[in-house]
Structure 1
Amino acid sequence: MIKRDVIVIGAGAAGLFCAAQAGARGRSVEVLDHAKKVGRKILMSGGGRCNFTNMYAEPANFLSQNPHFCKSALSRYTQWDFIALVAEHGIAYHEKTLGQLFCDDSAKDIVDLLLKECSKAHVTVTTRCEILSVEKCESGYLLSTSNGDYQCESLVVATGGLSMPKLGATPFGYKIAQQFGLNVLPTRAALVPFTLHEKDKATLAELSGIAVDVYASCNDTTFKEAMLFTHRGLSGPAMLQISSYWEAGDTLSINTLPNDDSHELLETARTSTPDALLATCLNKVFPKRMVQSFIDYHQWRNVPVKQLTHGECDAIANTLENWPVKPNGTEGYRTAEVTIGGVDTNELSSKTMMAKNVEGLYFIGEVVDVTGWLGGFNFQWAWSSGWAAGQVV
């Protein structure tokens, strides 16, 4: 029987950071993970450079059934605190866009930072360790594992969500929550590309690889970022962002001319170049391949613009500014960056992340019903929630 003050299940961003915080307080801590390597999701994040936080992180950038839950942790351990830690470790980084901070070299720098912090705090990290069962006992918790039996006072569940199963994602954390009577909210894939119905896919697949800036809207939320046509459907930052607000059956509204007035564009063309074909006018603001495909897809008349009626011009302009797209679905957990839903925040203390009705049981990171936008926000939730639990376990 191995005895520890704290056992953390999950050697990802939240788990390792929490373990380092607890260890720094003098607690004996061990992190257990079923994978061969720690921080696999960190290593592949941000194209291998890890978008480790966002300079503009605030509670409004997070989704949850209780939008107030994340406020305490985010205010007590901020993006600036983690940025200072990154600087302390001598890691070079840069802002890519919209406050998104990436390592100059490799995401491995962030994993190394976490492991160094754990080592400094005398935290033991054990990989290839399957958790077979978890039970409550008088002194805390008993864990039966493939590595032997453990006993601990505090148990931290940092097992992540269901996104990217190839990296080892499982529903283990949700099962532990349910075992101890906590409510788990329905989950779904988020920050994920959309798939299209066969008719739309067949027409638009030829645009695969083309990216354009758009306003993407759904359920009273709008993002202005790039949209990428793929052979399966629609991707790119704008689509990933809006996917968190989309539910099955919803229709997206896509403004393909976020920086121009499409009505003005066509009216100007009618007066200044009346003999130019519709395609010629649209080629000025869209990639040529996209123009021809859109003309075919929407069955517009590719004639000199002077021959288009005012009604036709209005219809074309309205479609360019409000293209209704009804996705068939998403690519699901296979490619999703995060999971929406999870352990109900009403079951947890927002200050400590401990279950309100189960002494010594904590949930942090993605397993909790707090989901950030694309752009480093989910890592910030890992640091903030891990820090909050690490102060008290």
Structure 2
Amino acid sequence: MHKFDVVVIGAGAAGLFCAGQAGRQGLKVLLVDHSDKVAEKIRISGGGRCNFTNRDATPAQFLSENPHFCRSALSRYTPQDFIELLQRHDIPFHEKHKGQLFCDRSAEDVINMLLAECDAGQVTRWQSCSIKSMFCAEQAGTASYKIESSRGLIEAPQVVIATGGLSIPKIGATDFGYRIAKQFGLRLVEPRAALVPLTFEGDSWAPYAQLAGLALPVKIETGPPDATPKQRKKAVVFSEDLLFTHRGLSGPAVLQISSFWREGQPVRVNLAPGTDLSALLLRAKATSRKLIANELASLVPSRLADAWVSEDPALQRPISDATDKALQALAQRLGDWQLTPNGSEGYKKAEVTVGGVDTRDLSSQTMESKQPGLYFIGEVVDVTGWLGGYNFQWAWASGFACAQALAARRVELAV
């Protein structure tokens, strides 16, 4: 039997970081993963350069059934803390926009740094190694976990589940963490794909499918179809780029809003934010004899203008011939385009999973569950960040909080 102080299951961002931090505090740590490669999400993130944190991360950029749960961990391990770790490893990085930080060279720099931290903590790594079963037995009033793996039986008083969510199964995502949570009686918030393109179907999308590849800055929100003005005023609104695809909408704006979107809800898009469309169109009517599509092309991309007016014969005329009512209706629709997705591209293209282990069954200070000695960190927990480095910051912060707790509990067990 192989005995350790801690077993960390899952060698992604949260698991690697937590294992290294725990090992550097003197714990005998085993890090296990079913894949022969570590941190595939890090490797593919940010176009291969890893958007490893956001300089401006606060609890306000995270979704959870309990939005206050993430406060403790985020306050104790900040973006600046991770930046200083990169600097100690001489990893160059840069800021793109909105606080998003990327490696100058490659995401491999972050992976190699995390592996170096594990090596410094003398962490034992088993890959590939599958977990067949896990159970807990009481020994002298203390929990002891026995784990049957493809490399033999493991025993440890503390186990950390860092196996992520369901997003991107082709790089190894599974429901292992959720199954372990259920096994030990922990509650789950229903998982769903997030930071994911939205899809549309039917003839209504045909005019826009031909716009695949077109991008433009927009404002976007979602909510109930019958949302009141008061509800809309409180809605989360993102100002980002939208991208048309053959199947629907993508780009940062849509990825952001997808985390909040629910089946049956519309998304509302302002295609010309910061512009008084009605006033500009009415002014053009008085001074121009151009076609409406041509005038519209000065406000939105010309391909979008052409697609828009092609749907309505009343708009296929010189702007001087249009009625004020028609132009005002056009401005209203462009500024508040409402359309209802039929779904999303699903976990295969989702960057993260919303939902997971219910935070009501976890300690926000330690990440320990109500099952003594069993911890959950990273994406497997019902805490999900916005697009832009926030989810990696949650991985570092939850992993750090957990590692501190593991060391403190090891001292308690030794007394």
Fold in common (TM above 0.5):
yes
Instruction: Identify which of 154, 161, 165 aligns with 1:157.
Output: 161
For structure 2, which runs of at least 5 residues remain unmatched after alignment?
A: 224-234, 407-415
Q: Whole-Å Cα distance in 2 between the matches of residues 44 and 184 of structure 1?
A: 28
Shift of 1:298: 4.9
Quote the offset at 1:259 in angstroms.
2.9
Q: Is the 8 A contact 2:201 2:247 kept in 1?
A: no
- The aligned residue for residue 256 of structure 1 is 271
Matched, 1:373 2:377: no
Q: What amino acid is aligned across from residue 252 of structure 1 in structure 2?
A: V
Q: CA deviation at 1:328?
A: 0.9
Give CA deviations for 1:293-329 in whole Å, capped at 9, x if unaligned.
Answer: 1112355512111111111011000011000111111
More off after superposition, 346-355 vs 87-96: 87-96
Deviation at 1:203, TM superposition (A): 1.9
SS in structure 2 at match of 1:334 = coil
Indicate the residue corresponding to 1:195 in structure 2. 199
| Corresponding residue of 1:245 | 260
Q: CA deviation at 1:285?
A: 2.2
Name the residue aligned to 1:92. Answer: 92
Q: Does the 8 Å CA contact 1:22/1:392 hold for their aligned counterparts?
A: no
Q: Give percent identity, aligned residues only.
A: 52
Report the 3-state secondary structure (helix = DSSP H, G, I; strand = E; otherwise coil) of the residue aligned with 2:278. Answer: helix
**Counterpart of 1:228?**
243
Normalised to the residue count of structure 1, the TM-score between the two structures is 0.98
Which position in structure 2 is the counterpart of 1:67? 67
Matched letter for residue 107 of structure 1: A
Aligned to 2:351: 337
- Output the aligned Cα RMSD: 0.9
Deviating above 4 A after TM superposition, structure 1's stretches of 4 or more consecutive aligned residues are none
> Equivalent residue for 1:181?
185
Look up the equivalent residue of 1:261 and give its one-letter code: D
**2:239 is aligned with what amino acid?**
K
Rounded Cα–Cα distance in structure 2 between residues aligned with 1:314 and 1:263: 5
Identify which range, 224-233 or 275-284, moves more after superposition. Answer: 275-284
Secondary structure at the aligned position of 1:333 is classed as coil
Contact 1:51–1:102 (CA under 8 A) maintained in structure 2: yes
Distance 2:83 2:392 in 1: 12
Alignment of 1:319-358 (within 5 A): 319-355=333-369, 357-358=370-371
Residues 300 and 316, structure 1, Cα contact 8 Å, conserved in 2: no
Q: Deviations over 1:38-71 (max 9, x none)?
A: 0111100111000000011000000000000000
Which of 278, 282, 285 is matched with 1:267 structurally? Answer: 282
1:21 maps to a residue whose letter is: Q
Gap regions ≥5 residues in structure 1:
none
Deviation at 1:267, TM superposition (A): 1.8
Indicate if the aligned counterparts of 1:3 and 1:150 stay in contact, CA closer than 8 A. Answer: yes
2:409 paired residue number: none
Equivalent in the alignment of 1:30 = 30
Change (3 A) 1:150 1:258: same
Tell whether the 8 Å contact from 2:74 to 2:397 is kept in structure 1 after alignment: yes
- How many residue pairs match? The answer is 391
How far did residue 271 of structure 1 move?
Answer: 2.4
Cα pair 2:55 2:100 within 8 Å, conserved: yes
Distance in structure 1 (CA, Å) of the matches to 2:314 and 2:352: 39
Once the 2 structures are TM-superposed, how far is the Cα of residue 88 of structure 1 from its aligned partner? 1.2
Cα distance 1:333–1:268, how it changes in 2: closer, same or farther (>3 A)?
same
- Of 217-226 and 11-20, deviating more is 217-226
Structure-2-length-normalised TM-score: 0.93
Aligned twin of 2:121: 121
* The one of 375, 397, 402 aligned to 1:362: 375
